[in-house]
Structure 1
Amino acid sequence: MTTTAEDVRRIALSLPETQEKLAWGMPTFRVRNKIFASLADDDASVGVKCPVEDRAELIAAEPEKFFVREGHDEHYAWLRVRLAALDDEAELRAILLDSWRQAAPRTLAEAHQDLRDATAGRPPKPSHR
C-alpha cells in the first residue's frame, strides 16, 4: 500500500493543536504555528523536521526513501521523505509524530506523551533539539 498526500494530511491533522496552512504554494502542517511537515508541489514527498546531525545517516541508509532538496533543505534541520517508498502508514505516522514532537513546545509534547509510535507500540525516542 502506497502512502499518499491525503494520508499525510489525515495523520498530521490528528496530532494535537495542528493546523494546515498554505505557504509558498504548498500545504504546511503546524503545531502552534511552527511548521513540522510540508507536502511537495507534486504530493510525492513530505518534508519533516530532522536534526542535521542525523540526516546524512538516514539518507545513506535509505536513499530511496530520504533525501534533501538542494538549495533549500540543506540549510535547515529538514529532510524529505518519498511517500511511495514508505513501508506503510504506520511508518508515515512515526515520522510525522517525531517531527511534530520536535516542533511542538516542550510542555505540549510532554502533555501528550501518550501519543504512540504505531510501528513499535511505544513513544518514539526523544529527538535532539
Structure 2
Amino acid sequence: MTEILERVRAIALLLPEVEERPSHGQPTFFVAGKQFAQVRDDHHGDGRHVVCVRTSGDDEQAMLIETAPETYSRPAYLGPSGWVAVNLAGDPDWTLIEDRIARSWELAAPRRLLEAGGR
C-alpha cells in the first residue's frame, strides 16, 4: 500500500495549494482547509484499499456506483456527503484516479484558485 499511497500523494500534491495531514488516522489532502481526498487502507477492517473523493452530489455518486461497482463504492462517514471511494486494489486505472482526484480538488478549491486557472 505504501507504493499506492506515494502515487496518490504525487497526484494530489501537484495541484495548487494542497497540504497533506492525517484526518481520523488516514492520509488526507486539503485545499484551503477543505478536504478533497483521503486514502484508506483497510479502514475499520473493511478489507478495502481506496481513495475517497468528492462528487458533485448524490446523483453523481449514485451514477458512478451503479455504472462501475467494481471501481466505485460509498465510503463510510463520507458517503452521506456525496463522496465515493475509488478502488485502488489490483491494477487500478491511474488516469481515472488522477482525474477523480483533480475533479475533487476543483469541487473543494476556492473560487480564486479556479479563476486563476486551477489545475
| Same-fold call, TM cutoff 0.5 | yes
Give the match for residue 26 of structure 2.
26
Code of the residue aligned with 1:95 in structure 2: it is: R
Code of the residue aligned with 2:112 in structure 1: it is: T
1:105–1:86 Cα change, 3 Å: farther
- For 1:86 and 1:48, locate their aligned partners in 2 and report how far apart those are by CA, in whole Å: 19
- For 1:99 and 1:44, locate their aligned partners in 2 and report how far apart those are by CA, in whole Å: 18
* Structure 1 alignment gaps of length 5 or more: 116-129
1:73 to 47, 58, 78: 78
2:59 to 50, 53, 56: 53
Identity across matched positions, percent: 37
Q: Give the secondary-structure state (helix, strand or coil) at the position aligned to 2:85.
A: strand
1:10–1:94 Cα change, 3 Å: same
Root mean square deviation of aligned Cα: 1.9
* Structure 2 alignment gaps of length 5 or more: 43-47
Q: Give the secondary-structure state (helix, strand or coil) at the position aligned to 1:40.
A: strand
How far did 1:83 drift?
1.4
Code of the residue aligned with 1:48 in structure 2: it is: V
TM-score normalised over the length of structure 2: 0.83
Contact 1:4/1:84 (CA < 8 Å) preserved in 2?
no
1:106 to 111, 116, 119: 111
Code of the residue aligned with 1:47 in structure 2: it is: C
Q: Give the secondary-structure state (helix, strand or coil) at the position aligned to 1:30.
A: strand
Code of the residue aligned with 1:108 in structure 2: it is: L
Give the match for residue 49 of structure 2.
44
TM-score normalised over the length of structure 1: 0.77
- For 1:62 and 1:81, locate their aligned partners in 2 and report how far apart those are by CA, in whole Å: 10
- For 2:17 and 2:59, locate their aligned partners in 1 and report how far apart those are by CA, in whole Å: 28
How far did 1:87 drift?
5.1
Contact 1:86/1:92 (CA < 8 Å) preserved in 2?
no
- For 2:19 and 2:68, locate their aligned partners in 1 and report how far apart those are by CA, in whole Å: 30
How far did 1:44 drift?
1.4
How far did 1:86 drift?
6.6
Aligned length: 111
1:108–1:47 Cα change, 3 Å: same
1:86–1:93 Cα change, 3 Å: farther
